[in-house]
Amino acid sequence: MNLDGIIFVIYLATLLGIGLWFSRKSSQSTELYLLGGRSLGPAVTAMTMQTTSMSGYMFMGAPALAFQYGWYALWYAIGDAGGSIINLSVLGKRMRRMSELLGALSPIEYLEKRFESSAVRIVGSIIAIVFLFAYVFAQFIAAGKAMSTLTGFSYEASLIIGVSVIIIYTVAGGYLAVAYTSFVQGIIMVAGVVGIGALAYFHVGGLTGLNTALEQTDPTYLSIWGKDLAFYGQWGVVLGAILIFSIVYMGLPHVVVRHMSMQSTKTVKGAILISALWNQFFIFVPYILGLIGIIVLPNIGDPEMVITELAYTLFPGFFAAILLSAIMSAVMSTADSILMQAGTILSRDVYQRFINKKASMKNTVLVSRLCILSGGIAGIIVAIYQPPSIFGLVIFAVGTLGNCFLVPYLASVYSKKANHIGCLCAMIGGAATNILWTSMNFEAVTGLDAFLAGLLVSVLGMAVGSRFGRKPSQPIIDIFEQAKSNRYFSKKFEQNIARNLAPEAKNIAQFLGDEKESLRNSH
């Protein structure tokens, strides 16, 4: 093992030490409950959220895309950055209102209640699991590459060692330990990425210097159509690139755990704000680093290693190794939490609800762990024997998810006639089209992006499917009309509405309605 490998081992040992310290501390408290979140301040909570979103795609996929296609890659970043804004301003308003009226706490629960069908939840959950696994595979490949650079071992051996080491580290944790180690890692990564970004930016003479150098290398790097004008005039592909990340937020399979505070607190709200601001910043940096890579590292063998190679070029080896260690464990910690989510969705939303309603808690956990284990093994096999590009995997995963959920969400608030058959046709048709389009490479023949093709089929599925089966019930139509009416409150007021109080609000409204009714009857 080389020096960088030893640094990695020391790094992990330090993290383990931090974990041990906070685990002991956490079990001593008698007033604060585990998982309650109060013991972590806004800064730690925000950094934990940030490290979860720092994935293999950010460190390897995005820069590789920019390295390959030039400024065209920024279409994806624009969609990513604008996604939350589109969500909040266009679709969000009506959906939020309807969600409040339905008393739904998560997106999938919202769809189930709006379309009055538990089949919607099963299909949504299964497609979500496929998405999560594809995303995890991308993390595994990223981890294998990072580990290989650190240790000097072969990619295959590094992958197995990397996955094993990090799973041991995460299993060792406990909640507080993981939160605080994420905090330490987050600081290293933020400092590292900002450091690399700043050094590389000035190294190439700022944006002007970068563009001049790119033009000298190949003017088409500056084109919005991609290097060699690969996508010239293909608006379908460009539109797909913008849309794909902008809608993914809606389809993400949130496993919501409701929290209730026993005293006034602002921790979570503050954390979300800090995290959202950072996210906007970090969306663009990896792509710019990919562009810088074209100039600084023209002969790099694997474009997915642009950030790593830039770290070794611009920093002393010691710091570069620490940064790479942090990237490596963050990537694996993301993979680990996604696997955990997939396991929970399968065991809770599919197995316990529909297969074995009387399943014991041990059985449920067993199903969840088996799901994680098989996903992990399949991931290692795919990553070793047929490693696709990280970018390709992430786009496939995000695209499938978007094709499954976008049309049902839109139809839920814009079409009164949309029913459960339409929703199922849209979900299955959209996701299946994306999978087929990608695996058969129909994009090359048709010039139509897989995501856009899936979207068209999904719209068709919703329109045709909604003509069959039972119509939406009267209460759902009433809620639909109510959600359509102009919003009452100001924007700022709305932003601060506590969505997790939706069930209480629904029940209190019912209570007041009943009281009014009985008063009327008594008169």
Q: Which of residues 152-171 bind other proteins (CB under 8 A)?
A: 168, 170-171
388 is a site residue for other proteins (CB under 8 A): no
**Where does residue 205 fall: left (phi above 0), alpha (psi -120 to 50 degrees), or beta otherwise?**
left
**CB count in 10 Å sphere of residue 38:** 16
Measured distance CA(204)–CA(296) in Å, rounded: 8
Nearest to 327 by CA among 105, 103, 162, 478: 162
Residue 371, SS3 per DSSP: helix
521 is a site residue for other proteins (CB under 8 A): no
497 is a site residue for other proteins (CB under 8 A): yes
Residues 404-463 that bind other proteins (CB under 8 A): none
Measured distance CA(340)–CA(480) in Å, rounded: 35
Token readout for 42 is: 């806004």
**Where does residue 441 fall: left (phi above 0), alpha (psi -120 to 50 degrees), or beta otherwise?**
left
When the beta carbons of 470 and 491 are compared against other proteins, the nearer one is: 491
Nearest to 343 by CA among 323, 372, 363, 366: 372
When the beta carbons of 275 and 466 are compared against other proteins, the nearer one is: 275
Residues 241-300 that bind other proteins (CB under 8 A): 255, 257-265
When the beta carbons of 155 and 175 are compared against other proteins, the nearer one is: 175
CB 344 within 8 A of CB 361: no
Least spacing, CB of residue 55 vs other proteins, in Å = 19
> Which segment (74-82, 226-234, 433-441, 500-508) binds other proteins by CB under 8 A?
500-508
Write out the H or E segment, with its range, that includes residue 466: none
Residues 48-77 that bind other proteins (CB under 8 A): none
Residues 93-122 that bind other proteins (CB under 8 A): 100, 103, 105
38 is a site residue for other proteins (CB under 8 A): yes
> Which segment (52-60, 128-136, 278-286, 359-367) binds other proteins by CB under 8 A?
359-367
Measured distance CA(53)–CA(73) in Å, rounded: 20
> Which segment (28-36, 52-60, 225-233, 475-483) binds other proteins by CB under 8 A?
28-36
Least spacing, CB of residue 514 vs other proteins, in Å = 10
Least spacing, CB of residue 451 vs other proteins, in Å = 30
Residues 308-347 that bind other proteins (CB under 8 A): 336, 340-341, 343-344, 347
**CB count in 10 Å sphere of residue 276:** 12
When the beta carbons of 104 and 462 are compared against other proteins, the nearer one is: 104
